[in-house]
Chain A
C-alpha cells in the first residue's frame, strides 16, 4: 500500500482506473426512425476508454498511439481537463485537471493538430504577448523564450504575419511555440505533425527534443506518424478499443517483434528449385516478385542473414541483394490490423499471445 502511494506522489501524470463512456443516440434507419427518435430518443452507452492505469514520470516522452477511434484523444482530453472522466482518478502534477481546470491549465501546454490557439487576424507576435499576460510570464523569461523559439523554429520570417496568412507548417510551429512560451512542465501534443512536409516535421521534432532535454518537460504525444515516435519517444503506449494493450519501451517492442528480417534478391537466371526449397523451409517465407526477383523473410532467432544469403549463392549468381529490417512501423501496423496481440505485465514486459507466424 505504501509503495503505491509513493508512486502516486512521484509520477507527474497519474491515472487510476480512468474510464470514459458516452451516451450515443441510436436511430433506426429511414424517416420513420428519425421520427421515432424525435419522439422517444434512445441512447446506448458507448465505452470510449475502458478503465486504464497510466503513470508518466517527470521528463518522460511518451508516445500514445492507436488506430482511429481507439480512445487516444479521449484520454488526452481527460488529462487536459476538458473532458470529465466517467470513473477513476487523475492527478497531473498533484492537480485534478477536471476539478481545477484553471490551475491545471496554467501548468500545461497543449497543441491539438487541428485547432489553433493563435488569433486569426493579428500578428503572431501579438498572440504571444497576449499569452505573456495570460500566464503572467516574467518579461525576462518571455524575451528569452521568444528569442530561442524564434530561432529554433525559424519563425522570424512569419512572426509578424497574422495567423490567417500562414501555411500549415508555419502555423504548427507558431502553435507549438505558443504552447511552450510559459515553460509548462507538461506538454500534450495531439498529432503535432499531421499534414506537414518532411523538413518541418524534422524541425518540430528537434525542437520538442531540445525542450524536453533542456527543461525536463514531460511530453505526451499522440500520433500516426511513426517517425515522431522513433525520433522522440523512449516509451510507447498502445491503446486499442479503449484498453492499453502495450506499455513499455520502444526498443523492447522493437527487438521483440522486429525479429523477422527480409532479404531481397535479384538473381542472374531463374532458379525454380531453390525457390521451392526456400518456400518449404520452416521459419522462412518466400515472396516472389518475378522469376529473377524475390524476397525471403526469416526469423532472425532461427537463421542468420549469412545462412540465407549463402543458401542462395550456393545455387546461382546473385546480381544484387539488400536487407530490410522490420521497423516499429510494421509492428504497429500489425497491432492496428489485429494480427498481433500484445499484453503488458506491469513493468512493461511484453508477452506474446498469438503465434508469430505471419511475416
Chain B
C-alpha cells in the first residue's frame, strides 16, 4: 500500500517539525547566531570589495545576492538533522528503529524534510529582512527562474541528505560524531561553493569541484538565481542534482544494509 506508506512518512515529517518547534529558546538563539553569521560574512566581503568593482567576475551586488542564497541553501538540513541521525547510531537507539516496520533511510529523510521546512522558513525570514535593509540585490526578472530555483533547492536538500546520511553512518565505526561532522562540513563548504564561488578556485580545483556531488548544494541554486545559467543549463544542473541524489541514496542504502549486517552479527 504505497499511499499508506506515504502517509506514514508524512506523519514522521510532521512529528519532526513538531520536535524542532519544541525548542523555542534554541531557535531564538539560532536566529541570533544566523544573523551574526550573515552580518560577519557580509562585512567581510564588503571589505574585500572596497575599492574594487569586481572580484572573480562577480560585482558587489551579485556577491550580496550570492551570499544570501548561499545562506538559505545552507540553512536547510543543518545541525539538527545531522546530529539526529548520528546520535541515533552513537547512543544505540537505532535498535528501537530496527524494531519498527519502517525503512530507516526513508524515515530519516522524512524527518529531515520536516525539520528543513522550519529551518528554511526561518532563514527565509532572515534573508528577507536583510534584502530589505540593503540595496542592490539582483532579483531575477522572470517567474520561471524562481520555479527552477525552488526545484534546485529541493534537489540541494536531496543531495545534502545523501552526503549527511553517509557521513552519519560512518559513526557505526567510530565512537564520536564530532570529527566526522566537522570533516563533512569543511568538505561540503569548500567544494559546494559555500565558502567562495567555485569560479574563484584555481582551474583544477574548480573542475574537480564540478565533478563532485557537493556543487549541487550551493553552486547550482546560486547559478540559477543569479541567472548565470540559462534555462537549459539550469535544467542540466538540476538533472545532475537528481543524478547525484539518487546515486547517493543508493550508496546510503547499500552502506546501511552492510552496517546493519555488521551490527546484527557483532552486536550493537
* A interface, CB within 8 angstroms of B: 22-23, 74, 77, 80-84, 98, 101-103, 105-106, 108, 110, 112, 115-117, 119-122, 126-127, 129-130, 133-136, 162
Contact B264 A82 (CB under 8 A): yes
B101 close to A162 (CB less than 8 A): no
A105 lies within 8 A of B100 (CB): yes
Residues from 209 to 268 in B contacting A, C-beta threshold 8 Å: 261, 264-268
Determine the distance from Cα of A136 to Cα of B9 in the docked complex, in whole angstroms.
12
Q: Assess whether A122 is in contact with B101, with CB atoms less than 8 Å apart.
A: no
- Contact of B40 with A by CB under 8 A: no
Give the size category of B's interface with A: 20 to 34
Q: Which of B7, B93, B98 has the most chain A CB within a 10 Å cutoff?
A: B98
- Give Cα distance in the complex from A110 to B99, angstroms: 8
Specify which chain B residues have a CB less than 8 angstroms from the CB of A121 in the assembled complex.
Answer: 18-19, 22-23
- Does B129 sit at the interface, judged by CB under 8 A? no
- Count A-B contacts at CB 8 Å: 78
Which of A82, A98, A129 has most B Cβ within 10 Å? Answer: A82
Contact B98 A81 (CB under 8 A): yes
Q: Judge whether B7 and A133 touch: CB under 8 Å.
A: yes
8 Å CB contact of B15 from A112, A116, A117, A127: A127
Q: Given A119-B15, A122-B18, A133–B8 Cβ distance below 8 Å?
A: yes
Instruction: Find residues 96-125 in chain B having any chain A CB closer than 8 Å to their own CB.
Output: 96, 98-103
* Known A23-B266, A121-B19; contact A134-B98, beta-carbon cutoff 8 A: no
Q: Which residues on the A side are within 8 Å of B10 (C-beta)?
A: 133
> Is there contact, CB below 8 Å, between B101 and A102?
yes
**Residues in chain A near residue B12, CB distance under 8 A:** 130, 133-134
28 sampled A-B residue pairs with Cβ under 8 A: A22-B267, A74-B267, A81-B98, A81-B99, A82-B95, A82-B99, A84-B264, A84-B265, A101-B98, A102-B102, A105-B101, A110-B99, A112-B95, A112-B96, A119-B18, A121-B18, A122-B19, A129-B11, A130-B11, A130-B12, A133-B10, A133-B12, A134-B11, A134-B12, A134-B102, A135-B101, A136-B8, A162-B22
B1 contacts A by Cβ under 8 Å: yes
In the assembled complex, how far is the CB of residue B94 from the closest CB belonging to chain A, in whole angstroms? 9
Tell me the nearest residue of chain B to A103, going by C-beta.
B101
* Chain B contact residues, majority secondary structure: helix
**Which residues in window 6-44 of B have CB below 8 A to A?**
7-8, 10-12, 15, 18-19, 22-23
Across the interface, A115 reaches (CB within 8 A) one of B18, B96, B261, namely B96
- The yes or no answer to B4 lying at the interface (CB within 8 A) is yes
Closest 10 A-B residue pairs measured CB to CB? A121-B22, A133-B11, A106-B101, A105-B101, A84-B264, A133-B8, A122-B18, A82-B98, A102-B101, A121-B19
- Measured CB to CB, the closest approach of chain B to A52, in angstroms, equals 17
Q: Are B101 and A134 closer than 8 Å at their CB atoms? A: yes
Residues of chain A contacted by B93 (CB below 8 angstroms): 115
CA distance A162 to B12 in the complex (A): 16
B267: which A residues are within 8 A, CB to CB?
Answer: 22, 74, 77, 83
| Contacting residues, chain B, for A82 (C-beta < 8 A) | 95, 98-99, 264, 268
Task: Across the interface, name the chain A residue whose C-beta is closest to B23.
Answer: A121
Closest B residue to A123 by beta carbon equals B18
User: Do B96 and A83 have beta carbons less than 8 Å apart?
Assistant: no
B18 touching A134, Cβ below 8 Å: no
Contact of A98 among B15, B99, B264 (CB under 8 A): B264
Instruction: From known contacts A83-B267, A84-B264, A84-B265, infer whether A126 and B18 are also in contact, taking CB-CB under 8 Å.
Output: yes
Q: Which residues of A contact B261 (CB under 8 A)?
A: 84
